[in-house]
Amino acid sequence: MAEIVAVCMSAHKGEAKKAVAEAELRAAHGLVGDAHAGDWHRQVSLLAEEKIDEMRRLGLELEPGAFGENLIVRGADLSGLRIGDRLRVGEAELEVTQLGKECHDHCAIFQQVGRCIMPTDGIFTRVLAGGRVQAGDPVEIERLPG
């Protein structure tokens, strides 16, 4: 079964996100206290731990939140998600709103290895139903028909 490996937040945009023990996902807002929360389509970002591990195999020492991700998920095929698919994360429900993102400035990781995974593997969501989230919470994917 898929699960949350880490929950990461930062109080200010532009600073590295750090793992926290638990956080609150608020409907139509995102992670309470995170700089990227608010009334927009990219309230919560997710990355697969397996993709982060690929970067670690290139010799990078990466802490949770290194790519600016809010939730690190293990055991779920995030690459197969489509816009509109839903994820149940613990008590909360998320809706996929964007796949990947354009990087305007090459981050430190890109400078070290020539690529970053957020543009290709990052998943962005909005919160439909809130709740607490922490490492170990199950993740269930509900795909749109078709």
Q: Please state, for a pLDDT cut of 70, what percent of the chain lies above it.
A: 90
Question: Torsion angle, CA of 49/17/69/75, rounded to 10 degrees?
Answer: 20
Query: Which segments of 21-64 are extended strands (E)?
Result: 22-26, 30-31, 44-48
pLDDT of 110 strictly over 60: no
* DSSP tag of 16: -
The CATH code of the domain at 2-142 is 2.40.33.20
- Give domain limits for the chain: 2-142
Whether residue 9 has pLDDT greater than 80: yes
The three-class DSSP label of residue 110 is helix
pLDDT in tens, 45-68: 999 999 999 888 888 788 999 888
Q: Give the whole-number percent of the chain exceeding pLDDT 90.
A: 65
Average pLDDT of the chain to the nearest whole number: 90
Q: How far is 99 from 53, CA to CA, in rounded Å?
A: 20
Amino acid found at 83: I
Q: What is the DSSP letter of 63?
A: -
pLDDT for 108: 55
Kind of pairing between the strands at 138-142 and 86-89 = antiparallel
Strands laid side by side in the 30-31 sheet: 30-31, 22-26, 131-134
